[in-house]
Chains A and B, each alone.
Chain A
Amino acid sequence: MLELTAKTIAELRDGLRSREFTAREIAESYNGAVSAAKALNAYTVTTPDDALAAAEAADSGRATGSLAGIPLGIKDLFATKGVDTTAGSNILKGFRPRYESTVTANLRKAGAGMLGKLNMDEFAMGSSNETSAYGPVLSPWRRSGSNVSLTPGGSSGGSAAAVAAHIAPGATGTDTGGSIRQPAAFAGICGIKPTYGRCSRWGIVSFASSLDQAGPMARTVRDCATLLEAMAGFDPKDSTSLDLPVPQWEANLSSDLRGKRVGIPREYRIDGVPAEINALWDQGIEWLKDAGAAPVEISLPHTQYALPTYYIIAPAEASSNLARYDGVRYGLRVEGVKTLDDMYAATRAQGFGAEVKRRIMIGTYVLSAGFYDAYFTKAQKVRALIKQDFAKAFEQCDLILTPTAPSAAFGIGETTDPLAMYLNDVFAVPASLAGLPAMSVPGGLDGQGLPLGLHIIGNELDEQTVLNAGLAIEERAGFTARPEKWW
């Protein structure tokens, strides 16, 4: 029974069809594995009955969708009806939405069940899961011969750890500036952020609305394609939702890249990146050549300005979005203060953690009278140039290959400087600013036995080429390494 948790979603689906096992057996295996893995701190709430109910619907033939009988982990940023939804923050402790996010409703419509809510950096602000009010998720991975606790990355760190530790076959993530791709790379799994607007943002706790995008995290490229197909789709309740049909990404998967040109951006060769990561990048180019693609050198001249642009726009939008946490409508309220204004200030002081406060402060400053044009408008102009860089590059190539992150997973508590932490997303942020689909797939292990990811960026709406290139890398990398179980 235990080996059911080792199967991919595609294998589970096949086994259910051939009646090799039941959905109930899958749900029970996962529920057992989840409750035995508390040491990872990956789940904030577990919902074993939800997984069992979905299994029952699948076994009885009532649920017949593409994910019938598949239990999933759901990032705590997605509103789930009647189940705590806290965005990893004290300010939302105890919040139980009366509604379901569009993405999770879509997954349920496809027959999926829920194993529980997954831990994350507070309001998705972080790259290591250390800003969560529940404490950090621990990566199932450790350096060879060491028992130092490592971060699974962030902000979708609980999702990455759960998929890697086989306590979820797949999970939802969200990506504002790398929050699906960096943790996927750190945990040795796959994760894709689709084109901005593919997945509805309705019912996802907002961080930076012009950047936030949901996507799946799973063990294989195929599973990502299956999950994304179920998650995506037009939603009139999100004004930036794309009114387009959802392509059949899974059915159209093909690792034959003949005729495709792979752009290699010269600006992504930056100082301080370990040689192993650049070597894996070169290996990735060889793999794509082997699949029939032709590499071309491209230039994305404003790359170095992407992070500072992001750290104006994202905090600005966050400061505005997070104004809603005022102790009036939901979540925490600090009592014992006299005026309404004092209640707001005391509630927000107690409810938000240090990184969230820092970003609200930066955002408030760059939007304040006298500084708006110098910071915010300037950043929106540079963002336009970054988008233009990609548009020009895609005249010369069909996809872009880079490393996902500038390092492998680091230790909990090892990175204390906020700026050093922000640099983790140096390769991920430009595609976010341009709204482009991008994916991380595992490429191999570093010298310390930790996973490294390769990052594929596609042209807007071209998730298919991203997934196909991911599949080509997956087939050639033969990444089968698993973390040794210590939890």
Chain B
Amino acid sequence: MSVTNEQVRHIAKLARIAMSDEEIERLAPELNNILGWVEQLGEVNTDGVEPLTAVIDQKLRLRDDVVNDGNIRDDVLANAPAAQHGFFAVPKVIE
């Protein structure tokens, strides 16, 4: 299986990374090299094998359903590139 420039453009869109045609052309063979290499996993018989979900077995903990955090709005906004009136500010999405 190999990816085309068109597919690379689509992946870049999914990943929200702007890429020029030149970058896409450079990246496609690199991705194909890596994907071609990982495809050797096809040789491994995994019939009946459950995919690993937790590397060290442990119970999923539950915590009490209580509010134990919050009231740190200014801390949350402190590193925002743009914050206004106590909110994150972004380019206008609705005209």
Contacts and interface: CB of A to CB of B under 8 A. Distances in A.
Interface of A: 94-99, 195-197, 210-211, 236, 239-240, 242-243, 302, 305, 308-309, 311-312, 319, 323, 326-333, 337-346, 348-349, 352, 357-358, 360-362, 364-365, 368, 375, 377-385, 387, 418-419, 433-435, 460
B94 to A, nearest CB: 10
Interface string B45-64: 01001111111101011010
Contact of A365 (B35, B40, B42): B35
Nearest to B28: A361
Given A333-B81, A357-B27, A380-B53, 11 more contacts: A240-B58, A308-B38, A308-B40, A311-B37, A343-B90, A345-B16, A349-B19, A360-B17, A379-B41, A418-B34, A419-B37
* Majority DSSP secondary structure for residues of B touching A: loop
Contacts of A345: 13, 16-18
A242 B60 CA distance: 11
Contacts of B31: 358, 361-362, 365
11 contacts: A196-B56, A210-B55, A240-B56, A305-B40, A329-B88, A361-B15, A361-B31, A364-B14, A379-B41, A382-B46, A419-B34
A218 B30 CA distance: 37
A330 B80 contact: yes
Nearest to A434: B55
A160 B92 CA distance: 46
A383 B54 CA distance: 11
A197 B56 contact: yes
A341 B41 CA distance: 36
Contacts of A340: 90-91, 93
Interface of B: 3, 7-8, 11-19, 27, 30-31, 33-35, 37-44, 46, 49-56, 58, 60-61, 63, 72, 75-76, 78-82, 88, 90-91, 93
B37 A308 contact: yes
B15 A387 contact: no
Contacts, number: 161
Contact of B79 (A96, A211, A323, A368): A96
Contact of B91 (A339, A361, A379, A387): A339
Contact of B44 (A240, A242, A312, A382): A382
Contact of A239 (B7, B61, B72): B61
B70 to A, nearest CB: 14
Contact of A331 (B18, B75, B81): B81
A335 to B, nearest CB: 8
Given A331-B81, A345-B17, A381 B91 contact: no
Contacts of B38: 308-309, 311-312, 375, 379
B32 to A, nearest CB: 11
Given A98-B72, A362-B34, A364-B11, A381 B52 contact: yes
**Which of B33, B40, B44 has the largest count of A CB atoms less than 10 A from its CB?**
B44
Contacts of B53: 380
Contacts of B7: 365
Nearest to B82: A333
Nearest to A195: B56
A331 B81 CA distance: 7
Contacts of B13: 345
B16 to A, nearest CB: 4
B40 A460 contact: no
Contacts of B81: 327-328, 330-333
A74 B90 CA distance: 33
Of listed B49, B50, B75, residue having the most chain A CB within 10 A: B49
Contacts of B42: 378
B91 to A, nearest CB: 5
Please give me the 6 A-B residue pairs with the lowest Cβ-Cβ distance, nearest first: A380-B51, A435-B55, A333-B81, A330-B79, A349-B18, A381-B46
A183 B75 CA distance: 35
A474 to B, nearest CB: 27
